[in-house]
Structure 1
């Protein structure tokens, strides 16, 4: 007599027996939430998209960057590298920093850090959200810039991607350091003031070498100036300056080391 055939259990698996989502799925879910929060916020949208695009149009419509044009480079060719760095400042530094500061104030960080997502997963989700927003910014700026006469080489575009990731990593660390050590209101004020200062005179739009004497030397050591110089060299000269990459890497290491040590979750 043959053994009875085994039958599969019918119906949905009981909730208590369901497997928990993997860490990767939890991080991706958090990244999706962070991304949508950033792009749906009106103030964030102004900072992330409208201001960089307006700056790009203004720079190509005026002669402010004409002294830095070489060869047959158009105004858009000279403007785009700085605008891309400005996008990183808006998303990784100011945008995410302000959001994190107020999440910390309202206790959101404390609760999320005790969930299965964990602190590491929360930070990873924020980083992925920043990269996702940066990708959207890149596409939008590129579309407007192409309309304005931007003509990059495919190699320069590909080389710019790892550079922008390094820049994003650096300014995310700096933004989280400020958000994790100051009160939310102070974080808002400091990040906005620093954003304006770096955009205007931090080597982002205009090279640090254009500043007078010792100020040029001092600004040249800032991550904003290193980022601007690296992207300009990438798009206009087809090279990646090692010195600028080293400066960015040092700032990234120092900012994240300080964030790990000093960040307060409550």
Structure 2
């Protein structure tokens, strides 16, 4: 997960540019919700999906899995409400808690959802269908107390203390500061406190450490990066130049699984021997598909 660095003003500008009358129609929908005290009517969020697809460099906001960029790409993306619009279902259930060996405590957001945020642009990201439908669904774990605030996201965050990391915008700490990687495995970057708990909940919630498609994608990435690192050090001048271009791109947000890439490149600079260990394990995953090489996943809070 990485930050989607857009300011509130820039997000509004992009939406107005994409669909000039969207905010006016969204405001009318919100006014209707305010009167009825529940979400009703048709959702308009799919109309602005393209704005978020472009902002996120055609990657899932939560798992960073690269998604399509073509005339048919729209079907692969879901507009996801960070705070659910109609209801909130507690997470984790007993089966999930046992499977993931969860020991921390969580509360749940408003059981009736957050209908006044149904058409709030800052409550959206686009995600892959796995992150959205079976995983995020109508869950919203929090660490604080339920808030009576209906539409002010800053006040809601201050009172409810969401446990899922918010990737959109600049108000929340950057996901890069909260989650790092040990090889292909995501782990909390902090040693304790609320920030560590948020990282661990986010990892568990989206099963970022367990999904084989994510693990395999990161393994292929590490193998490729190692080869470029070696080429940049030992290759011909032309090979070094081309390798360094790829390594520079890998530190940017457009690269697939860029948070994993940055963690690996930083490790290579600090501890090349440890980076080689992670490369060799990733190589085995690519060649032999042996998930046991990485154990069950991140350490528990």
Relative to the length of structure 2, the TM-score reads 0.27
More strand by share: 2
More helix by share: 1
Give 1 or 2 for the bigger CA radius of gyration: 1
Relative to the length of structure 1, the TM-score reads 0.29
